[in-house]
Amino acid sequence: MREVKIAPSILSADLRCLAREVEAVARAGADWIHVDVMDGHFVPNLTFGMPIVAALRRITSLPLDVHLMIEAPERYLEAFARAGADRLIVHVEACPHLHRVIQGIRGLGLRAGVALNPATPLSVLEEILPDVDQVLIMTVNPGFGGQAFIERMREKVRRARRMIDALDRPIELEVDGGVGPENASDLVEAGATVLVAGASIFEAPDGAEAALRRLRQAVENARIPRFP
């Protein structure tokens, strides 16, 4: 049975009390913390950098899943590693020398992931899949939290799962954008092993802990094929 991880995205957390927000989701059973780094070039928004990753590192022992929505990410790999990132995800659209970047991340001792925008075909994975630890399928256009899930991405996740299963090594399949209790079971059944959720957790009217437990329940309700 595949193990499914829930990764709350701090993009939607109340930054006035980030430590408390992270503690709440950790208490409710979060597996990873997802950090959205945006540069105002690759995506039309600016968010966090290394200092926030370093601060998170001091307040949690959960793995930090750092999603780099930046141009030329190779400039910052070492700095994010030093700040305490565990997993670094780069966009294929931002990396003409993707293999070199992935090798760079793994050379730093971190897990390396590749992210694909909704309009980027899965065929770009063909030559890089054997070298990555993680594939992130964007299920909204990157740049902002709280957007609506693009329904067609469910089928893309299913196809990505088939590509991964054809290889002989464990690769996480992460979905990011518009994920909540209403679509989590379907996504897990389609083959996702990591669910990123920002607004559905941190903006839930009954609080982040209750929201995370709802999401976990939805994951548990999924009918995951036993093999593989």
Ligand X SMILES: O=C(CO)[C@H](O)[C@H](O)COP(=O)(O)O
- Rounded distance between C-alpha atoms, residue 115 and residue 91, angstroms: 5
Closest CA to 131 of 105, 159, 161: 105
Residue 146 labeled ligand binder: yes
Closer residue to ligand X (CB): 10 or 110: 10
131 is catalytic: no
8 binds ligand X per the rule CB under 6 A: no
- Cβ within 8 Å of residue 223, ≥6 positions away: 189
5 binds Fe ion per the rule CB under 5 A: no
Least separation in angstroms between residue 203's CB and ligand X is 8
Hey, what are 91's tokens?
């966009």
Which residue lies nearest ligand X, judged by its C-beta?
198
- Rounded distance between C-alpha atoms, residue 82 and residue 166, angstroms: 34
**Farthest CA pair distance, the chain:** 45
Which amino acid makes up residue 192? Answer: A
Closer residue to ligand X (CB): 15 or 167: 15
Closer residue to ligand X (CB): 193 or 200: 200
Q: Which residues bind ligand X (CB under 6 A)?
A: 9, 11-12, 34, 36, 67, 69, 140, 142-143, 145-147, 176-179, 196-200
Active site residues: 36, 176
Q: Which residues bind Fe ion (CB under 5 A)?
A: 36, 67, 176
